[in-house]
Amino acid sequence: MDSPKLAALDWNGTTLNDRNSAWRGIKAIFNHYQIQAPQADNFFDSSQPDYLPVYHQHGIPKHASKDDLNKIWQRHYGDYTSDGQLREGVIELLEFLKNLGIKTAIISAEFGPVLEKRLNQLELRELLDLAWGDCLDKSLALAKAANELGIPAAKVIYVDDNYHGLIQAKATKVITVGFTGGWQSPSKISQANPDFLASNFYEVRQVVETLRNLQEQGAT
């Protein structure tokens, strides 16, 4: 594997520790439609970037649109002042990558304007070369990001806490890191067979260092 030139991170559940906030928004959606909410672990393990079909599978009426669900979600999700915080080590990782000249990006299914607002709120935007929301297909988004920055897919590393997001990323031939400390269970993440597993962002940094060391050893 090559040393990365672009590090792309998923947002909700990965970069942002927001499982409690997310579940509050999810339960509000089910309550709005008077549908019994599933167990949290079951719902999160079934989640995917293109989230609307998941809600339909769990009983939300087919006439409910993404805009409908987003409005409910945003009203109940919160503003990050309580239980929605950046993961420990995120800032340090991004600064480390910047110092190495590695480009950085957020590739998220989050509603675009909301993502931009929250990145600025958390003073994270200046550490990112790209920040894209509304990315329901991570394979397309990663390919576009790599092309825009002029970086081969083989030199892109992508971190995600979602099985489907990782499967999509693998189709683009990027280096994948399954984040096991997020929304989905470690067993679900392992099923995607990512190139690496990491339970925190210090371990993500170790993956980057390992790849750089392997390339340096290969060059000697």
* 1 in any annotated domain: no
Last residue of a domain, one of 39, 57, 77: 77
Residue 62 lies in a domain: yes
Q: Are residues 101 and 23 in the same domain?
A: no
If you write DSSP's letter for every residue of 67-101 in order, what string do you get?
Answer: HHHHHHHHHHH--SSSS-EEPTTHHHHHHHHHHTT
Are 133 and 72 contained in the same domain? no
pTM: 0.93
Q: Are residues 118 and 95 in the same domain?
A: yes
**Strand residue runs (E) in 29-181:** 85-86, 103-107, 130-132, 156-160, 175-179
The answer to whether residues 94 and 63 belong to one domain is no
For the chain, give the percent of residues with pLDDT over 70. Answer: 95
Residues 24 and 13 grouped into a single domain: no
Tokens of 204: 């993500």
Token digits for 83?
A: 């239980």
112 and 23 together in one domain: no
- Is 195 within the bounds of a domain? yes
**Which of the four pLDDT bands, split at 50, 70 and 90, describes residue 217?**
confident
**Is 120 among the domain residues?**
yes
Last residue of a domain, one of 77, 101, 119: 77
> For the chain, how many structural domains are there in total?
2
The predicted-structure confidence for 94-115, as pLDDT tens digits, reads as follows: 999 999 999 999 999 998 998 9
Mean pLDDT of 169-185: 97
Residue 208 sits at φ, ψ, to 5 deg, of -60, -45
In a shared domain, residues 53 and 157 = no
Residues 96 and 37 in one domain: no
Task: Note whether residue 153 is domain-resident.
Answer: yes
For tokens 């594997």, the residue is 1
Say yes or no: 63 and 91 in one domain: no
Residues 53 and 66 in one domain: yes
In this structure, the answer to whether residues 124 and 186 fall within a common structural domain is yes
Tell me the pLDDT tens digit for each residue of 7-33.
999 999 999 999 998 999 999 999 999
CATH number at residue 175: 3.40.50.1000
Is residue 144 a part of any domain in this protein? yes
User: Among 32, 50, 77, which residue terminates a domain?
Assistant: 77
Q: Which domain holds residue 29?
A: 19-77
Q: With helix as H, strand as E and coil as C, how does the chain read?
A: CCCCCEEEECCECCCEECHHHHHHHHHHHHHHCCCCCCCHHHHHHHCCCCCHHHHHHCCCCCCCCHHHHHHHHHHHHCCCCCCCEECCCHHHHHHHHHHCCCEEEEECCCCHHHHHHHHHHCCCHHHCCEEECCCCCHHHHHHHHHHHHCCCHHHEEEEECCHHHHHHHHHCCCEEEEECCCCCCHHHHHHCCCCEEECCHHHHHHHHHHHHHHHHHHHC
Do 99 and 166 reside in the same domain of the chain? yes
**124-174: pLDDT as tens digits:** 999 999 999 999 999 999 999 999 999 999 999 999 999 999 999 999 999
